[in-house]
């Protein structure tokens, strides 16, 4: 894929005197603008030293019924769940009595996988096991008429014996498999279900009354004030993932826990955040391990601890964070350990335009300027529009895009799809805002840069 750098088309620098506008006002402006631009639908809670300075709901809990979100709405956390799985393992290790140690081989708890030599519980925690991701294996080999569970991961790996991607502790590579196996180990060691163990040892002690493990397809039940997840399909329409059928991965993998499936609210997550500043669950020695990367065989340090991504930023200090994305849910928690600042963002509509505005929220917390780039509308003559017309294709890209004209407007149409109108902006940029699509034309080179969300493809005119 060829890439080139787009210039900043139009810049607006937001500079507001702190005496004129509070942090709360600025955060409200930021998230309101993101909601209006259809890049945010969800709940946000931001705190400093445990004190909430901004909390608000934006949009719907159910896209189909238009039921609204509120501050107590419950969301599936997706991979933000991993920090609870990691804490569950840490608490089992603290019990002693030889039940579980970080450097125990996984074969101690999962003898069916004893052919994986030298992989330890610690490797699972910090993503250095080398195990391939189970999602790809199940996508290829699993009978999708059945729900998969953690036990099925063990069975399938024992059956197919997929090769490790690298030797344990040779490198870091994010793996859902590791955390699904940790969920299984918690059940084996504790003698409880994953959900019951977390409830008894974490959620109940911390007063997290609206937090629980829930698999809405595998074991459906009525949950009041629940945010349903929605996604965008290939045609730009908002749909439930279940509309894609039971053979879609978020349906048949719904029985698996550990790498996801914790459900919670922003307020409960703040309780979780505050608890980790205390010794209620674990002590300082434990936290030093949780919030620190691991040393690889070559001596290099990773930036992932136990269920947390770790970063040291010159302007902010030490930050622990994690994001999640699954079945329409886009989630994020960030804890500035140096300044005791907390950002919690839970979303339930995932489209090509969806963003996690945590970086700008952090800038507001630290009284920094925010630079917002936007496009300035443009006008073009018939002759100028004609230079953009044609059929565009890209190497190794499955569709071609036809640019046509009707009256004073351009239209785009991908192979096998309907025609859509394009709005004109300066510098040869045209956009279809409903689907987050932008085209930037370079008539001299007969090229067109197509962007949609994180996708960027350079097309050439045929």
Cβ-count burial of 1 within 10 angstroms (0-12 exposed, 13-18 middle, 19+ buried)? exposed
Distance CA 55, CA 267 (A): 9
Distance CA 133, CA 293 (A): 21
Q: Where do runs of H (alpha helix) occur along 282-372? A: 284-290, 358-365
Token pair for residue 235? 């045609």
Active site residue 79: yes
Distance CA 128, CA 122 (A): 8
Distance CA 410, CA 42 (A): 34
**Residue partners of 283: CB distance under 8 A and separation at least 6:** none
Are 347 and 42 contacting, i.e. CB atoms less than 8 angstroms apart? yes
Distance CA 442, CA 429 (A): 10
**Residue partners of 68: CB distance under 8 A and separation at least 6:** 57, 59, 60, 61
Question: Which entry of 29, 57, 79, 247 is annotated as an active-site residue?
Answer: 79
Tell me the β-bridge partners of 223. Answer: none
- Active-site residue set: 79
């Amino acid at each position: 894929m060829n890439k080139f750098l787009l210039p900043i088309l139009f810049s607006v620098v937001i500079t507001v005197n702190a005496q004129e506008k509070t942090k709360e006002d600025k955060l409200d402006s930021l998230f309101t603008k993101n909601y209006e631009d259809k890049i945010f639908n969800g709940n946000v809670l931001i705190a400093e030293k445990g004190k909430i300075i901004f909390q608000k709901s934006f949009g719907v809990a159910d896209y189909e019924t238009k039921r609204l979100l509120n501050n107590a709405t419950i969301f599936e956390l997706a991979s933000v769940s991993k920090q609870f799985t990691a804490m569950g393992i840490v608490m089992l290790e603290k019990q002693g009595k030889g039940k579980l140690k970080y450097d125990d081989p996984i074969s101690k708890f999962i003898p069916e996988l004893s052919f994986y030599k030298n992989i330890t519980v610690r490797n699972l925690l910090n993503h250095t096991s080398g195990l391939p991701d189970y999602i790809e294996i199940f996508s290829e080999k699993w009978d999708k008429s059945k729900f998969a569970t953690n036990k099925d991961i063990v069975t399938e790996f024992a059956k197919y014996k997929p090769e490790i991607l690298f030797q344990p502790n040779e490198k870091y590579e994010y793996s859902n498999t590791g955390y699904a196996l940790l969920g299984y180990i918690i059940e084996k060691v504790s003698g409880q279900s994953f959900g019951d163990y977390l409830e008894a040892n974490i959620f109940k002690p911390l007063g997290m009354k609206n937090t629980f493990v829930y698999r809405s397809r595998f074991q459906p039940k009525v949950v009041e004030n629940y945010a349903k997840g929605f996604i965008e399909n290939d045609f730009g329409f908002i749909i439930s993932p279940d509309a894609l059928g039971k053979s879609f991965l978020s349906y048949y993998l719904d029985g698996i826990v550990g790498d996801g499936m914790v459900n919670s609210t922003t307020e409960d997550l703040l309780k979780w955040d505050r608890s980790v500043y205390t010794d209620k669950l674990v002590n300082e020695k434990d936290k030093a391990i949780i919030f620190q990367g691991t040393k690889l065989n070559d001596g290099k340090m990773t930036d992932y601890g136990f269920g947390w991504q770790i970063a040291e930023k010159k302007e902010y200090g030490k930050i622990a964070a994690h994001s999640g994305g699954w079945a329409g849910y886009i989630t994020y928690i960030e804890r500035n350990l140096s300044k005791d600042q907390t950002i919690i963002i839970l979303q339930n509509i995932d489209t090509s335009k969806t963003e996690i505005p945590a970086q700008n929220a952090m800038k507001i917390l630290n009284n920094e300027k925010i630079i917002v780039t936007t496009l300035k509308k443009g006008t073009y003559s018939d002759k100028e529009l004609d230079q953009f017309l044609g059929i565009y294709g890209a190497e190794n890209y499955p569709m071609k895009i036809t640019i046509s004209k009707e009256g004073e407007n351009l239209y785009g149409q991908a192979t096998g799809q309907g025609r859509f109108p394009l709005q004109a902006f300066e510098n040869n940029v045209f956009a279809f805002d409903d689907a987050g699509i932008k085209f930037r034309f370079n008539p001299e080179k007969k090229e067109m840069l197509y962007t949609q969300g994180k996708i960027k493809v350079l097309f050439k005119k045929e």
